[in-house]
């Protein structure tokens, strides 16, 4: 497989997720960072570029300039990674798609349904691949659950309980640092905080694991911590196509919870319990009540999921490997595009279509909440 070249937007000094993307891509050494617009100022961009060994001539003052310049180069980037706060996702992704460059963007995809539909249209029209990094769905155990349910081994799913509580924004002020500040600022997060940040992970996790499609939602979105102007605790009732139901909870003031994404799936033939903080295992309960704990690296994990493991069981893999698994499939597909062997069934990562579903879910919830907690169709 050919090693590809990529560029990054965001991921400058003191930032969080950009560095995680770089490390995850490096796990399989399938791509090299060669360009970037790492920050809003050229000075900070060049600082990060120097730290990462990027040619100063390929450190850009804006993502628009980067997209144009990289598209014009013989050796231009194969894909762009967008890891800025939510407000600039749309414009940055659009700039690269219009320049004919494949895109990876962190969640939430963008701010509005119109923007999401535009990105879907652009990517589809231009035949470009678009990864949305719902990180947790790269876990081997998540892939195992998805295959198990898709093969009908849990029977028809009857109900889902899913939650993502955090406690890091339990107080106003300096508590959440830079990352907390922009999430709570409507101008930078797009008028939704907790549900955009955490609820999109919950929506995508349930959709990916179960294959269920949301039909309608009833949302109660609360602003609880004094001083906040956006939601920091959300409870959502969900009805899926086919009649199954779900209940989602996200919170940022649940002291004692870090990144506690959990999904419980109850089917006709058994139940599945999964939590990302213990991502190496999944609990499966049969209709007779037999409780089985499957571990990554041991037998009993579906082959297509087990293939993503890199280490023997007990040598723990985690969040970076999970993100690495998304990139492994994305970059494999990009290579296949280059040599003409790509087929859509090779895609084993969340795409722009999945990202758009997340944006639609958030907006249906906002509408439900604004109209007095009524059911809203998606």
Ligand X SMILES: NC(=O)c1ccc[n+]([C@@H]2O[C@H](COP(=O)([O-])OP(=O)(O)OC[C@H]3O[C@@H](n4cnc5c(N)ncnc54)[C@H](O)[C@@H]3O)[C@@H](O)[C@H]2O)c1
Which stretches of the chain bind ligand X, using CB under 6 A? Answer: 9-12, 15-18, 37, 39-40, 63, 83-86, 88, 106-107, 133, 135, 178-179, 182, 197
- Give whichever of 12 and 199 is closer to ligand X, judged by the CB atom: 12
3-class DSSP assignment, residue 103 = strand
Crossing angle for the helix pair 89-98 and 113-126, nearest 10 degrees? 20
Residue 143 CB, nearest approach to ligand X (Å): 17
Q: Nearest approach, Cβ of 375 to ligand X (angstroms)?
A: 28
Nearer to ligand X, 136 or 308 (CB): 136
Rounded CA-CA distance 20/316 in Å is 17
Nearer to ligand X by Cβ, of 19 and 216: the residue is 19
For ligand X, the closer CB: 12 or 76: 12
Minimum CB distance to ligand X, residue 76 (Å): 18
Q: C-alpha angle with apex 196: 194 to 198, nearest 5 degrees?
A: 60
Give the Å distances, CA to CA, from 307 to 141, 165, 215, 319.
11, 30, 33, 17
Least distance CB 21 / ligand X (angstroms): 9
Contacts 24+ apart (CB under 8 A), 276-281: 276/136, 276/139, 276/319, 279/136, 279/139, 279/141, 279/142, 279/317, 279/318, 279/319, 279/322, 280/141, 280/313, 280/316, 280/317, 280/318, 281/141
Residues with Cβ within 8 Å of residue 288, at least 6 apart in sequence: none
User: Closest distance between ligand X and the C-beta of residue 86, in Å?
Assistant: 5
Q: Report, in Å, the least distance between residue 266 CB and ligand X.
A: 26
Nearer to ligand X, 48 or 368 (CB): 48
CB of 221 to ligand X, least distance (A): 18
Q: Is-contact 116 355, C-beta < 8 A?
A: yes
Q: Which residues of 271-285 are buried (b: 16+ CB within 10 A; e: fewer)?
A: bbbbbbeebbebbbe
Choice between 319 and 342, CB closer to ligand X: 319
Our CB check for ligand X shows the closer of 39 and 332 to be 39
Residue 248: strand pairing partners: 162, 236
């Amino acid at each position: 497989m050919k090693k590809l070249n990529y560029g990054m937007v965001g991921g400058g000094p003191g930032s969080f997720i950009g560095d995680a993307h770089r490390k995850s891509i490096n796990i399989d050494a399938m791509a090299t960072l060669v360009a970037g617009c790492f920050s809003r100022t050229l000075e900070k961009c060049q600082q990060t570029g120097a730290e990462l060994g990027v040619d100063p001539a390929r450190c850009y003052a804006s993502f628009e300039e980067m997209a144009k310049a990289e598209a014009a180069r013989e050796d231009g980037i194969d894909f762009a990674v967008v890891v800025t706060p939510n407000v600039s996702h749309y414009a940055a992704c659009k700039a690269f798609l219009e320049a004919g460059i494949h895109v990876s963007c962190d969640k939430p995809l963008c701010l509005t349904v119109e923007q999401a539909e535009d990105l879907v249209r652009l990517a589809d029209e231009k035949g470009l691949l678009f990864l949305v990094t719902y990180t947790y769905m790269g876990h081997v155990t998540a892939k195992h659950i998805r295959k198990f349910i898709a093969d009908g081994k849990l029977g028809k799913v009857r109900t889902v309980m899913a939650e993502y509580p955090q406690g890091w924004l339990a107080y106003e002020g300096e508590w959440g640092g830079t990352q907390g500040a922009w999430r709570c600022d409507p101008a930078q997060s797009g008028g939704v905080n907790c549900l955009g940040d955490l609820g999109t992970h919950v929506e995508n996790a349930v959709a990916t694991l179960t294959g269920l499609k949301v039909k309608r939602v009833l949302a109660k979105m609360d602003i609880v911590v004094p001083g906040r102007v956006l939601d920091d605790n959300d409870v959502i009732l969900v009805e899926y196509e086919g009649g199954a139901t779900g209940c989602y909870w996200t919170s940022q003031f649940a002291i004692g919870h870090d990144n506690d994404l959990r999904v419980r799936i109850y089917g006709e033939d058994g139940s599945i319990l999964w939590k990302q903080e213990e991502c190496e295992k999944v609990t499966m309960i049969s209709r007779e009540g037999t409780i089985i704990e499957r571990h990554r690296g041991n037998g009993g994990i579906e082959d297509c999921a087990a293939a993503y493991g890199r280490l023997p069981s007990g040598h723990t893999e985690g969040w970076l490997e999970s993100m690495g698994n998304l990139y492994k499939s994305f970059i494999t597909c990009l290579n296949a595009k280059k040599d003409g062997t790509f087929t859509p069934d090779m895609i084993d990562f969340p795409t722009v279509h999945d990202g758009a579903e997340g944006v639609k879910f958030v907006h249906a919830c906002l509408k439900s909440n604004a109209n007095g907690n009524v059911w809203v169709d998606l």
